[in-house]
Amino acid sequence: MIISQKVIVHDLMQDGYVYFKTQPIGKKFHPDFKPELTPKQMLTLGVFGGKYMTDCRTEFPVDWFTHARLATGKADPNLNFFGVLASQSLSVWKKKFWLSQDDPRGWFQWYCRYYMGRRIIDEDLRQIKRWKAMKRHVAQIKKNCQPKDFTCRRVQRQALLHWAYDSRKI
């Protein structure tokens, strides 16, 4: 039996936001959502120029950050696994309505909280649909690159890492 656990967030983008963990960590995902990487693995590999989540470590397990590639100043593409910029700015995300009130940092924040056990049915379905749409990039890499040629389509490979697809296997 899962007992709901209350989380109160205090970071630069949300102060006093409350959510509840209702599922076990890393389990009971929607059947259509099968990420290949955990948030901890993504942070260790290097995503978002190391700038993502630098002010909200207390919300997530300490071990997620033990080997995370995090920037001390502004985002640094060299901290990304493929060493390239593969993100759009937060202002672009806002213009495209990719953000929600619950997750003002976007998809990865949603994924981290979902992984930790938070469930918001409509938002979960919206984000899973967006995650599934990234699969088209896997097909493009397979079509245009030799297997495991990390010099081929590095931006697409990095973008896939940002969405929990392990593009090192393609």
Q: Where are the domains of the chain?
A: 5-169
Residue 78: DSSP 8-state: G
In this structure, which long-range contacts are made by residues 113-116, counting pairs with CB atoms below 8 Å and at least 24 apart in sequence? 113/19, 114/29, 115/25, 115/26, 115/38, 115/39, 116/7, 116/21, 116/25, 116/60
Angle at 99 between CA 98 and CA 102, to 5 degrees: 145
Q: Is the dihedral of CA 74, 13, 90, 99 positive or negative?
A: positive
**3-state SS assignment for residue 57:** helix
pLDDT number for residue 169:
96
pLDDT at 54: 86
Q: What was the pLDDT predicted at 2? A: 66
Strands 5-10 and 15-21: antiparallel
**Residue-level pLDDT at 98:** 81
Closest CA to 167 of 148, 146, 140: 148
Kindly give the confidence (pLDDT) of every residue in the chain, 170 residues in length, as a single tens digit, with 9 standing for 90 and above.
567 899 999 999 999 999 999 999 999 999 999 999 999 999 999 999 998 878 989 999 999 999 999 999 899 999 999 999 998 877 887 888 888 999 999 999 999 999 999 999 999 999 999 999 999 999 999 999 999 999 999 999 999 999 999 999 99
Note the pLDDT of residue 143. 96
**99, 129, 168 from 32: Cα distances, Å:** 21, 9, 22
pLDDT of residue 1: 59
Helices (H), the chain: 39-45, 90-95, 107-116, 121-133, 135-144, 154-162
